[in-house]
Structure 1
Amino acid sequence: MEQHLMTQVEDPDALPQPLGEYKPVDYWQAHINTLFYQLRGDQQRSFYQTFTSADYRLAHALAADYFEQVTKRDKKVAAKQLTPNGPGSNPLSDATPQAQLTVMEWGPGNGNLAACFLSHLQRLDKDGRVYPRVRYLLVDSQAHALERARAHPDLAPHLAKVESLCAEVEHLATIADGTVDRIFCNELWNELATKLMVKKGGEFEEEHLRPNLNERKAAAIADWSGFVRAFEGKDIERLKQFPPFLDDLIWEREYHKVDWKDVPFRKTITEFMKAIDDEVLVPVNLGAFASLKEAKRVLAPDAVGFSSFDAGTADMEVLNDPDKPCYGQFGGQYSFMVNLALIQAVAKHLGLNAVAIETQREFVGSRLGTNVMTLMDLLACHPMVGSKVQPWELDRLTVKTIRTLNETYESPYQRKIEFPLRSEMPAEERDAAQGILLSLKPNGIPDTIAYVTEEELSQAQPELEHLGYEREAVLMALGAPPSPVEYYHFACRP
């Protein structure tokens, strides 16, 4: 297949300067992830926000779901204990109401999901039957990430039951088999090891990458050989002495035959690829496969189960589209689409049960008893979006929309919204927008991807119409089908 650059070179005469050799995508993915989180981990929200960075509704949905499932299970166990000689009864079962409940969160980010989950679970548990038994375990491969998560202010009241484990989620060696009740992760699978495979003439090939800097950027680095050594060796302290470079990486790619000795689930992958046309690139999320295998090992037989929330698709028509987006770039880091259809096939191979896939919006709305959409979904309904307007005009619309929604939106948490205004915004407009931002209440909309409910939208509709929103368009967006690549909830049980 033809070799080409993933990142456009600004100056055609400035030749890329190689930083390493061609290696499989998943090798360089892991390499860059390490550099990104060590160099920019504290700036993550400057490059992208997750649905749990500041918002609370996904956490509340998880808490409501967990409380309901544990309560139902406890009632069944209690009923069995009333008839000790009944079929299948076991008075010493780990699921008795007295047993500890280990809840694991993989990739806890800034700690907001943990804080909101535990706070809402405590509020729901009025009789104290579930929350006191919970042991909440934060899992991340980076120790500083765990420290940052534990430092979240709203996690402070719950710290007595919060523990940390520095480990790869694919290798939880210190966790005994069958000891965990609940596992969830948010926007983690897209960062785990992923290969990009393609079928060609009966053979399977995978994408290999080579990192470069263009000549202009390389010229700004006096000690080039020292920089290359630091890059290859992931010498973070040394790299901090050089100019920032993650945004300036140029990736060349080429294709080589898959070395199957390094790829698990070969039969499942090759069977899946029979439904994919030749020369169509497909994500193969090896890290997600390995994490599912580990989840099956550590989950108790009667566990509530595993949940992953991530951007991807289970639609074979989308996966067979040669123009689908297999990855995106954020601050130098590559994030891969999650191939939920293939993951579902691997889950079946592993013997996992009750495998289900639903949109994240469906999960949040159903567990909270309402319909939801994000602020970004709402903004996309405005007639101005998609027309020829200046970007700063969209910023102005966003700020005014947030102010309007805040009349009906009441969060149980205080979060200061971070919304940097564009420098090209006219001074008068900028002052007005800045004034609105400064006046926003602390328990209002926390960020631009926060969930808002149908009730909140309905109450704010008259004011939204003054801003140009049309009621019919908003209602259509609330019931819109999933996009080709959407945020999904993948769930299963052991």
Structure 2
Amino acid sequence: MLQDADALPQLIGDYKPLDEWQAHINTLFYRLRGDKLRTYYQTFASADYRLAHALAADYFEQVTKREKARGQGREARGESKDAPPPSPASLAPRLIVLELGPGNGNLAACFLSHLKTLDKDGLVYPRVRYVLVDWEQSILDGALAHPDLVPHRDRVEGLQGSVEHIAGVADHSVDRIICSELWNDLPTKLMARNAGEIEEEYLRPNLSEMLHATIQDWSGFVRAFEAKDVERLKTFPAFLDDLVWEKEFRKVEWKDVPYRKTITEFLKTIDEQVLVPVNLGAFATLKEAKRLLAPDAVGFSAFDAGTADPKVLNDPDKPCYGQFGGQYSFMINFALVEAVAKHLGLGRITIEPQREFVGRSLNTNVITLMDLLATHPSAGPKLQSWEQDRLVLKTIKALNESYESPYSRKLDFPLQDKMPQEERETLNGMLLSLKRNGVPDTVAYLTEEELATAAPDLEGVGYDPDTVNVALTAPPSPIEYHHFTCK
């Protein structure tokens, strides 16, 4: 089946399992568009700080609790309870924190900055070795260049390699592993039961007829695409947005798929012909976490969009993936991830809405700026794109009357190309007038107290306080950002 029935397919590859083509396209996407990621999507860690602060507070609490328990153990062994408090040097070994897929480095910078602030006695922060792991050196270089990492450079390093097998890190040597919005990019299959067999989706790539007509050296383009020859592909027109995929279903070749029994048992709970994601890349990171984490480690955390709800997973109309700039991004099947984690012997597994994790750290209710925008009476498809820009900037300006960020940041907000010139000048002036310690991003968390303080200014933009209050306590959406943790 073609995604675009009107496109005349021009084959550029053979049928392969979905996860194989996903890995192929992701490699091209990051090498061709890695410096323009925010043009296609933003994450909760791109510019906002609250997820990183919640992680730092949680880490500091768990490490200090563990040290206290060790101290009580020393007392039980007859060591003097009047001994002076430990020094950082006496608390060796170092605490290794791995961040898988570090993006632009903002999560690492905010995590370390907040950890240093919390650690007034210097018993945790001085021992931390923070390692950024990514398969693309250009991404690592960009992350390490984040200006807010400068004060922490003596304890931060980059490690190039696969997040599914992290070479150079010893077994059982790591205290904390974090990955934010990484799992959705890792290899994923779509599987379903059909007449007693388990089938998976295969894809075959084509190029749109329109773009095909502009490429003179067609065989050269196909060879470069197959070889992932990025330098050669850069000499051709941009093509990722013009890929057309044919789809078919074939019986799963289990010799190439791990956790057959766990996957098969899970699929028995799903109706026939209902596709569900099988997040193989996520499973691989869990297996690697099992190898790397120390016995008393704080543990592993992943943040991503998906569901663990059996009813949602059994819905044939659920959105299994989205496409951003040509790249496939999958929802996470947290129920199956949990089953695989148990199969691997990982314990103390929890799955909770991400905003619950952030709100618990702040001891208040939180919503995102996008949640707030969705409550506006005019929000939705009836607004033109530039009118949506205007609503976003007016909302941020209203919030900034009372919002105070601990970081100074210029809001990265490219205006739409197509808008009336007078509106462009007005919105550009509004953008330039925003304070640097205001709301840092369009993907940012807002607290109940901040919204209450800004309520009069938000009402001036058209928001209804009662509707906003309902959003603060609304149950999670069917597919929501979750926090998965295990030890």
Partner amino acid, structure 1, of 2:144: R
- In the other structure, the counterpart of 2:210 is 216
- In the other structure, the counterpart of 1:257 is 251
CA contact (8 A) 1:413 1:443 kept: yes
Change (3 A) 1:98 1:174: closer
Structure 1 residue 129 and structure 2 residue 104: aligned? no
Using the alignment, how far apart are the partners of 1:95 and 1:286 within structure 2?
40
- What are the superposed Cα offsets for residues 434-477 of structure 1, whole Å, 9 maximum, x if unpaired? 11101011111121111111111110001111111111110110
- In the other structure, the counterpart of 2:480 is 486
- In the other structure, the counterpart of 1:453 is 447
Partner amino acid, structure 1, of 2:104: N
Equivalence map 1:17-416=2 (5 Å): 17-84=10-77, 97-386=91-380, 388-416=382-410
Q: How many pairs align?
A: 479
Runs of 4+ more than 6 Å apart: none
Partner amino acid, structure 1, of 2:296: D
CA contact (8 A) 1:74 1:95 kept: no
Using the alignment, how far apart are the partners of 1:136 and 1:52 within structure 2?
16
SS of 2:305's partner is strand
CA contact (8 A) 1:73 1:95 kept: no
Using the alignment, how far apart are the partners of 2:239 and 2:437 within structure 1?
37
Using the alignment, how far apart are the partners of 1:293 and 1:169 within structure 2?
11
Consecutive unaligned residues in structure 2, runs of 5 or more: 80-87
SS of 1:476's partner is helix
- What are the superposed Cα offsets for residues 30-78 of structure 1, whole Å, 9 maximum, x if unpaired? 0001100110000011110011111111000000000000010000001
- In the other structure, the counterpart of 2:83 is none
- What are the superposed Cα offsets for residues 180-214 of structure 1, whole Å, 9 maximum, x if unpaired? 00000001101111011010011000000011102
Partner amino acid, structure 1, of 2:67: D
Q: 1:387 offset after TM fit, Å?
A: 7.0
Using the alignment, how far apart are the partners of 1:395 and 1:114 within structure 2?
29
CA contact (8 A) 1:401 1:467 kept: yes
SS of 2:225's partner is helix
CA contact (8 A) 1:171 1:294 kept: yes
- In the other structure, the counterpart of 1:91 is none
Which of residues 460, 476, 479 is equivalent to 2:470?
Answer: 476
Tell me the TM-score normalized by structure 2.
0.96
- What are the superposed Cα offsets for residues 389-420 of structure 1, whole Å, 9 maximum, x if unpaired? 43332221111110010111111112211222
Using the alignment, how far apart are the partners of 1:169 and 1:60 within structure 2?
24
CA contact (8 A) 1:62 1:117 kept: yes
CA contact (8 A) 1:23 1:208 kept: yes
Partner amino acid, structure 1, of 2:187: A
Partner amino acid, structure 2, of 1:20: G
SS of 2:99's partner is strand
Q: 1:388 offset after TM fit, Å?
A: 3.3
Partner amino acid, structure 2, of 1:8: D
Q: Percent identity?
A: 68
- In the other structure, the counterpart of 1:439 is 433
Q: 1:176 offset after TM fit, Å?
A: 1.3
SS of 1:483's partner is coil
Consecutive unaligned residues in structure 1, runs of 5 or more: 87-93
